[in-house]
């Protein structure tokens, strides 16, 4: 658990996947320059790989419990991205181990609606996709929801996300548990949804504001700390607007550095997040200490 002022931040892991480092960064000089802190937590030098962790954040603040990015989910047809196909992970057991029950959750927020960020919105029960968090309001940014719903034909086809709206979003809307919110939306006194477009056209962050500082759940604006050093680095998932995704990374680095906030992306390895500092015209990433997670 990570504590920030009045807030407790819990982590629920689904699984992890190692990827070749050159998928993200083909510049050995950049890696060599920063190898001292990148290794061993953020790169495996010997294997020349890095890992993506698929995990959810659970924020307890303002007498509310909010789940951020409920991962990929079990039992889905995801034949294009086989790492998500017909998963059978103990995600719900790990969720329960935090001390929070699914029925205790007040809000669920998806930074965007790619398959690995909204899957556990629902679970398969008696052949139907039903809400996993039955007492929660699911906060979907209207722009993002419409991008994958009624407006999907206005965007390039994203084959790997086929079926996600139908099994992980529409059942929540039909159950009457969805709130379609504006691009900027205040959930509670200390929690604010804010836009971070590019990775998808409705991609958003969640900002936590406490007496002890701020924290940004940045979703997939960043997949790896190297993207703080070079905002142009990207994985193929920045599918909607790559130039806008790069501009969003630049803006978030500046804001997070200015506020001395914590960045908590969706997929970073332990220690899972850190702070950003200015370095001339660029930025440096300063990882949290492992001991920050109590």
271-289 tens-digit pLDDT: 999 999 999 989 999 999 9
The CATH number assigned to the domain with range 2-292 reads 3.60.15.10
Q: What is the pLDDT of residue 98?
A: 97
Task: Please tell me the distance from the alpha carbon of residue 20 to that of residue 149, in angstroms, as a whole number.
Answer: 33
CB contact at 8 A, 86 and 79: no
Sequential DSSP letters for 40-100: TTT-BTTTTEEEEEEEEEEEEETTEEEEE-----SS---SSSGGGTT----HHHHHHHTT-
- Count how many Cα atoms sit within 13 Å of the Cα of residue 75 in the half-sphere of its side chain: 14
Q: What is the pLDDT of residue 261?
A: 98
For the segment 184-195, the average pLDDT, to the nearest whole number, is: 98
Sequential DSSP letters for 271-282: T--EEEEEETTE
Task: Please tell me the distance from the alpha carbon of residue 221 to that of residue 241, in angstroms, as a whole number.
Answer: 12
> pLDDT-based confidence at 157, cuts 50/70/90?
confident
Q: Name which of 203, 182, 186, 287 is nearest 247 in CA terms.
A: 203
Q: What is the pLDDT of residue 267?
A: 98
Each residue of 52-86: b (16+ CB within 10 Å) or e?
A: bbbbbbbbbbbeebbbbbbbbbbebebeebeebee
Task: Please tell me the distance from the alpha carbon of residue 221 to that of residue 233, in angstroms, as a whole number.
Answer: 11
Q: What is the pLDDT of residue 72?
A: 98
> pLDDT-based confidence at 156, cuts 50/70/90?
confident
> pLDDT-based confidence at 80, cuts 50/70/90?
very high
Whether 21 has a pLDDT exceeding 80, the answer reads yes
Q: What is the pLDDT of residue 291?
A: 87
> pLDDT-based confidence at 232, cuts 50/70/90?
very high
If one compares 42 and 238, the residue with the highest pLDDT of the two is 42
Lowest-confidence pick of 125-129, 234-238, 241-245, 262-266: 234-238
Paired residues of 202 in beta bridges: none
Q: What is the pLDDT of residue 26?
A: 87
Whether 293 has a pLDDT exceeding 90, the answer reads no
Q: How far is CA 145 from CA 67, 141, 172, 180, 212, in A?
A: 18, 6, 12, 8, 33
* Alpha carbon of residue 129 to chain centroid: 22
- Predicted TM-score of the model (pTM): 0.96
Q: What is the pLDDT of residue 260?
A: 97
């Amino acid at each position: 658990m990570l504590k920030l002022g009045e807030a407790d931040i819990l982590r629920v892991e689904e699984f992890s996947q190692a990827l070749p480092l050159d998928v993200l960064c083909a510049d050995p000089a950049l890696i060599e320059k920063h190898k001292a802190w990148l290794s061993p937590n953020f790169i495996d030098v010997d294997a020349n790989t890095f890992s993506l962790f698929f995990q959810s954040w659970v924020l307890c603040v303002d007498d509310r419990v909010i789940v951020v990015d409920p991962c990929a989910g079990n039992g889905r047809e995801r034949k294009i991205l086989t790492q998500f196909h017909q998963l059978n992970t103990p995600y719900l057991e790990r969720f329960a181990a935090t001390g929070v029950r699914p029925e205790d959750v007040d809000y669920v927020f998806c930074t965007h609606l790619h398959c690995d960020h909204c899957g556990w919105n629902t679970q398969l029960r008696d052949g139907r996709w039903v809400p996993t968090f039955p007492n929660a309001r699911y906060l979907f940014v209207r722009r993002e929801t419409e991008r994958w719903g009624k407006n999907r034909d206005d965007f390039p086809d994203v084959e790997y996300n086929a079926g996600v709206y139908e099994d992980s979003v529409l059942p929540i809307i039909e159950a009457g548990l969805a709130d379609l919110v504006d691009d900027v939306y205040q959930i509670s006194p200390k929690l604010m949804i804010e836009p971070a477009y590019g990775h998808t056209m409705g991609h958003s962050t969640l900002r936590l504001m406490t007496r002890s500082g701020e924290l940004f759940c940045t979703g997939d604006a960043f997949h790896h700390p190297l993207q703080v050093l070079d905002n142009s680095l990207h994985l193929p998932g920045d599918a909607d607007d790559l130039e806008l995704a790069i501009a969003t990374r630049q803006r978030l680095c500046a804001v997070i550095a200015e506020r001395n906030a914590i960045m908590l992306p969706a997929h970073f390895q332990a220690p899972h997040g850190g702070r950003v500092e200015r370095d001339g015209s660029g930025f440096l990433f300063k990882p949290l200490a492992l001991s920050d997670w109590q």
